[in-house]
Amino acid sequence: MCGLCGELTFDGTSASAGAVSAMSAELARRGPDGAGLWSNGKAALGHRRLKIIDLSERAQQPMVDPGLGLSIAFNGCIYNYKSLRTELEAKGYTFFSDGDTEVVLKAWHAWGKDAPKKFNGMFAFAVVERDTDTLTLVRDRLGIKPLYYAEQPGRRVRFASSLPALLAAGDIDTSIDPVALNYYMSFHAVVPPPHTIIKGVRKIEPGTVVTFAPDGQRRDHRYWHLKYGRTADEAKRTSEQWRDAVHAALRAAVDRRMVADVPVGVLLSGGLDSSLIVALLAEAGQRHLKTFSIGFESVGGEIGDEFKYSDIIAKHFGTEHHKLFIESEKLIASLPDTIKAMSEPMVSYDNVGFYLLSQEVARHVKVVQSGQGADEVFAGYHWYPPMVNATDPLAAYAGSFFDRDHAEYKDIMEPAVVGGDHASDYVRAHFAQAGADEAIDKALRIDSTVMLVDDPVKRVDNMTMAWGLEARVPFLDHELVELAAKVPASEKIRDGGKGILKDIGRVTIPPEVIDRPKGYFPVPALKYIEGPVLDFVRQALDAPVARQRGLVKRSYIDKLMDAPKDHITRLRGSKLWQVALLEMWLQAHRI
């Protein structure tokens, strides 16, 4: 896990080593174990390294293979790199290092744009071809690893693992993208690619290869699509057969993510998903496994931790368990740094939880497994069951997931930034794509391939990498995700959601954890905005730059601040926090 950046020029000038160095410096926390810079006239690559596989200097990046004429900057982990290396050696390739980066480089030479199809892992990488000055940017199937770019036609393209890194290089259009703003305020703060909240920065779509020729011509190739449905034989499978197939696939996914030359721990929330990971690792013979949980002060009668459940799992499987309790005062003090660590504005309350937990975990291990993705892949949310019989999928989905309809959006935003109902248009178009015929499958597909990427997965990447910690997400193993898309919806939504995972849990983990009410990462102090948190929010929204920004009507902001608890989204989020977080993020990055 690392950070990468670089530049390719189209106008005959040399790539700016200063700009690449500035981007690399901004990425330093993603890779505290090493730094590298490579330049070859029109192209330059920068890299920050977190040593996980092949700890030697032979695996330093950017990595150059003069014989093949290729240079690479890579972020992520290829879990099947050893078998791919064997396959490549059989084709005549020789290796000078022992890690996965060189495997990616030689796989690219061997198979070109089809190489990513062979990778099981999380990855984003940039490859420069020496003889043609061609740049290729690649992102993994489910967008676990981020990759942003700033394209200036006729001049250059810059790219980096974070949006702030591109800002550090300068010369970026930092005006607000009105399409992205509509997404943010409507689609529960999800801004699908290629958009970001900033006009001058875009992001590579997951499962995509993007190639820039020396003259700036661009080609996009989508190498992966998630399809729902079953063959005739698969339709005959029993519940037990589906359960066993998912159990085997999840076991393999968890096992793959132990590939490392350093110890691997688990973020243990006490919920079903992370508890299953611990159970499967224990089943595989892992001993002295380190697990980590976090809790906060209770506010408004809402308990701020789930230690009761994480303690059950830790005791049952004999893990080395670490509990981190955060007082509200420390939580509030950490908000500025948490917001600055965000590549894009993210409203979920648990960002600060992951940020503080990652700080503690990084003192003990460099790699953790985490349970993100299970709810989206295996239908754990409350809005999935109503989708089963929905005659109007868009209305049913938006009625549960959208923070506001377009009429409210037009009413609260300044006229200059109000445009079309982009969020509804996006979801409608996504639902119309082939490969998901049933309404619930349409919802599961958009959540697994869009919402998940630009909310939970991005959150985990940003907050863990802020402390040089690598998070691996077995529920997003692409083979497991493809299998889950075949599982009938009825197997997923029963028993209050994630029924098939609960079946697996009943033979592996204590029942108290399985049959408990569904929990979320609790951060009550941010859900019930009052006292010091309200003062923090008010300071940001009353700042002169906020008053001059011209996005949200001031009358609406004042109404939110006067009665924060009266303005809650359909998903029980604070509308005040949503508005304030956007402003605080813009201020944190001096926009």
Per-residue pLDDT averaged across 436-447, rounded?
97
Domain boundary among 199, 222, 245: 222
Q: How far apart are the first and last CA of the chain?
A: 28
Domain membership of residue 326 (yes or no) is: no
Domain co-membership, 218 together with 247 = no
Higher local confidence (pLDDT), 511 or 212: 212
Which pLDDT band, with edges at 50, 70 and 90, does 518 fall under? low
Q: Report yes or no: 176 and 197 within 8 Å, Cβ to Cβ.
A: yes
Domain co-membership, 247 together with 114 = no
For 62-110, the pLDDT digits (tens) are: 999 999 999 999 999 999 999 999 999 999 999 999 999 999 999 999 9
| ∠ Cα 484 488 491 (to 5°) | 90
Q: What is the CATH number of the domain that holds 123?
A: 3.60.20.10
Q: Average pLDDT, whole number, for the chain?
A: 94
Higher local confidence (pLDDT), 152 or 298: 152
Domain boundary among 166, 192, 222: 222
Domain co-membership, 11 together with 78 = yes
Domain membership of residue 199 (yes or no) is: yes
568: its two tokens: 């809650």
Residue 112 pLDDT greater than 90, yes or no: yes
- How much of the chain, in percent, has pLDDT values that exceed 90? 85
Domain membership of residue 136 (yes or no) is: yes
Domain membership of residue 103 (yes or no) is: yes
Q: Report yes or no: 146 and 124 within 8 Å, Cβ to Cβ.
A: yes
Domain co-membership, 210 together with 286 = no
Per-residue pLDDT averaged across 300-309, rounded?
70
Which pLDDT band, with edges at 50, 70 and 90, does 521 fall under? low
Q: What is the CATH number of the domain that holds 263?
A: 3.40.50.620
Nearest to 304 by CA among 237, 258, 242, 349: 349
Give dist(CA 428, CA 406) in Å, integer. Answer: 14
- The angle that helices 100-111 and 81-90 make with each other, rounded to 10 degrees, is 50
Task: Please give the C-alpha separations between residue 249 and each of 20, 233, 482, in angstroms, as whole numbers.
Answer: 41, 19, 10
Give dist(CA 474, CA 472) in Å, integer. Answer: 6
Question: Whole-prediction pTM value?
Answer: 0.96
Please give the residue range of the domain that contains residue 158. 2-222
Number of domains the chain is built from: 2
Domain boundary among 222, 245, 276: 222
Give dist(CA 402, CA 182) in Å, integer. Answer: 11
For CA atoms 424, 429, 431, 437, give the dihedral sign. positive
Nearest to 465 by CA among 76, 38, 118, 22: 76
Beta bridge partners of 138: 125, 209
Domain co-membership, 32 together with 136 = yes
Instruction: Please give the pLDDT value at position 233.
Output: 95
Beta bridge partners of 471: 368
Strand ranges of the sheet holding 156-160, from the earlier edge strand across to the other edge: 34-40, 43-49, 2-9, 156-160, 148-152, 202-203
Give dist(CA 62, CA 53) in Å, integer. Answer: 15
Of 174-188, 425-439, 522-536, which gets the smallest average pLDDT?
522-536
Instruction: Please give the pLDDT value at position 56.
Output: 87
Please report the beta strands in 22-120, taking only residues with DSSP state E, as ranges in sequence order. Answer: 34-40, 43-49, 63-65, 70-78
Domain membership of residue 564 (yes or no) is: no
Domain co-membership, 42 together with 186 = yes
For 366-417, the pLDDT digits (tens) are: 999 999 999 999 999 999 999 999 999 999 999 999 999 999 999 999 999 9
Q: Report yes or no: 269 and 310 within 8 Å, Cβ to Cβ.
A: yes
21: its two tokens: 């160095």
Give dist(CA 424, CA 408) in Å, integer. Answer: 13
List, as one string, the DSSP characters of 435-450: T--SHHHHHHHHIIII
Residue 244 pLDDT greater than 60, yes or no: yes
Q: Report yes or no: 6 and 36 within 8 Å, Cβ to Cβ.
A: no
Per-residue pLDDT averaged across 188-198, rounded?
97
Which pLDDT band, with edges at 50, 70 and 90, does 304 fall under? low
Instruction: Give per-residue burial for 317-326: e unless 16+ CB within 10 Å, then b.
Output: bebebbbbeb
Domain membership of residue 338 (yes or no) is: no
Domain co-membership, 210 together with 240 = no
Domain membership of residue 138 (yes or no) is: yes
395: its two tokens: 């209305």
| ∠ Cα 119 124 127 (to 5°) | 90
Domain co-membership, 16 together with 124 = yes
264: its two tokens: 């691997």
Domain co-membership, 281 together with 136 = no
Instruction: Please give the pLDDT value at position 572.
Output: 84
Residue 532 pLDDT greater than 90, yes or no: no
Residue 124 pLDDT greater than 70, yes or no: yes
Domain co-membership, 141 together with 238 = no
> What is the bridge-based pairing of β-strands 156-160 and 2-9?
antiparallel
Instruction: Determine whether 153 is exposed, middle or buried from the number of CB atoms within 10 Å of its CB (0-12, 13-18, 19+).
Output: exposed
Domain co-membership, 244 together with 98 = no
Task: Please give the C-alpha separations between residue 379 and each of 10, 187, 354, 487, in angstroms, as whole numbers.
Answer: 46, 19, 23, 11
Domain membership of residue 249 (yes or no) is: yes
Instruction: Please give the pLDDT value at position 522.
Output: 54
Domain co-membership, 263 together with 372 = yes
Nearest to 463 by CA among 364, 549, 348, 323: 348
